[in-house]
Amino acid sequence: MTAITKASFNFPRQIKVYNGKVRDVYTLDNGLLVMVASDRISAFDYILPKGIPFKGQVLNQVATYFLEATRDICPNWLLATPDPSVAVGIACEPIRVEMVIRGYLAGHAAREYNAGKRTLCGIAMPDGMKENDKFPSPIITPATKADEGHDEDISREDILEKGIVPREIYETMERYTYQLFQRGSEMAAQQGLILVDTKYEFGLRNGTVTLIDEIHTPDSSRYFHLDGYAERQEKGEAQKQLSKEFVRQWLMENGFQGKEGQTIPYMPDKFVKTISERYIELYEKITGNIFVRSDIENIERRIDRNVRTFLAEQELIK
């Protein structure tokens, strides 16, 4: 198995499992979560038919890199990464709102803007902008978190009026979101990149707002190359970027945008390899580290062994 797309682990003390679009989360009876980053890839809220070798490892290691680099801003769930594709952390009660933050008019925001809309999630977007222009200041465009199907845009006002999130908790999430985006932007700039937009998910641990899941990965974020950005904007050229937007573009060019009646196109092996290389490129570009490819001869066996060894060691420590 060179890409892990579907696995059913049975770890010690496991009591339930949640299979997400990309990650499989195993809950243990001691309050720990084992999060396996699969090699599945999703776009337009659909899981694509082929796995992408090394994608899970890239996501897990990029997320770990940024979670460790932002512990001074807010608490997060991560305890350890016992395997290249696995993170172990503390279970939190998820807050069912994603905090999407955008520094530039790109992706979903650009598509809405080009359709004539000038507000997104209750936030006004200035007239006269071009796709990929920088906003005067970053905007938060929240989305309700769906277990299945599409996440839905929602305004700050609706969140508070409907009591989806209490005001004090939401304002804490807002503050953390701005601070995390600022830190991510600074770290990206050091590597010659622009952090265009991203999303953060939070949960509650003993009443404390805690950062959960992953951050600043190519699944949750969009990056432009800083070098040449201004020139490309001036000429009206497409920006050189590191994200999975190129996967969405390929799907749209092949007649798929997640709409009813559309069929996911066949993914040639050459395109799968290209996706894998682009994910590895992002890891190396954003961290400044060389990507070390793990043994993928049998990923499932490797993950099971490493997680069991880690959990056994934790029991001995206790």
Q: Is 66 within the bounds of a domain?
A: no
Q: Is 171 within the bounds of a domain?
A: yes
DSSP 299-311: HHHHHHHHHHHHH
Predicted local confidence at residue 8, as pLDDT: 86
Domain of residue 118 covers: 94-245
Does residue 216 sit in helix, strand or coil? coil
Distance between CA atoms of 123 and 129, rounded to whole angstroms?
15
9 C-beta neighbours (distance < 10 Å), count:
16
Q: Is 121 within the bounds of a domain?
A: yes
Distance between CA atoms of 123 and 49, rounded to whole angstroms?
36
Predicted local confidence at residue 317, as pLDDT: 56
Total number of domains in the chain: 1
Q: What is the CATH number of the domain that holds 105?
A: 3.30.470.20
| Amino acid letter for position 154 | I
> Which pTM value belongs to this model?
0.88
Mean pLDDT by 10 residues, the chain (318 residues): 85 93 93 95 90 94 97 98 97 96 96 96 97 98 75 94 97 98 97 96 97 90 95 96 85 93 92 92 92 92 96 76
Predicted local confidence at residue 40, as pLDDT: 94
Q: Is 83 within the bounds of a domain?
A: no
Q: Is 136 within the bounds of a domain?
A: yes
Q: Is 28 within the bounds of a domain?
A: no
Q: Is 197 within the bounds of a domain?
A: yes
Predicted local confidence at residue 148, as pLDDT: 57
Distance between CA atoms of 88 and 66, rounded to whole angstroms?
15
Name the helix (H) or strand (E) containing 53. none
Predicted local confidence at residue 147, as pLDDT: 58
Q: Is 313 within the bounds of a domain?
A: no
Q: Any idea what DSSP says for residue 154?
A: -
